[in-house]
Structure 1
Amino acid sequence: MEKYLLLVIIISVEAIFLLLQKKSRTFELRDKGIEICYWKLSYRRRLIRTLWFIPIAVIELVWFYFTFKSGFLTCVIGILCGGELIIQLVYNYRHWKNGDGG
């Protein structure tokens, strides 16, 4: 039961993260320095942050497999996270190359 509660928390955090990305931009995007808020980064910096997240996602999937002992559940989570990463990569790359917002 505790494992499924952890799964619900992880999915909830992902959903909140995606909703916050859609927040309207009334501020300047940053391309230099440290910035905690993802949505304040330029598209180039978002792309770099997404690329850095790939090894972390692989480690999380390995941890997920050994915690839940379910290959099917790990595959489902892997497909969802992998799909999200690919969408973020393509989206941020296109906006960066088009010159949108930095």
Structure 2
Amino acid sequence: MAKRHAENISIGDALKEFIGANRLEKGLDKVNAKEAWDSVMGTAISKYTTDIKLDRDTLYVQLSSSVLREELSYGKEKIIKLLNEEMGKELIKKLVLR
């Protein structure tokens, strides 16, 4: 059972506490990584993205265009930096384009 607080807390704080107590961070990080990819890369690149998977500190992105994959491979470090900034934490350390 969750413990009750005598004082009033915000819903945001209650959700953070719930997520931490039930160890849901990894699942939310996976969802946030997909949303960050779409947000940072835009709709043009998202159209060619077929699958995104976050495994530990590596983001695997499957693309349907080999030309786009080659172009994005030149800017991996910048993409990683932009994705981490979008998510608000240093979550991705390596990017694998497939």
TM-score (norm 2): 0.33
Decide which structure has greater helix share. Answer: 1
Name which one, 1 or 2, has greater alpha-carbon Rg. 2
Decide which structure has greater strand share. Answer: 2
- Of structures 1 and 2, the one scoring higher in RCO (CA 8 A, sep 6+) is 1
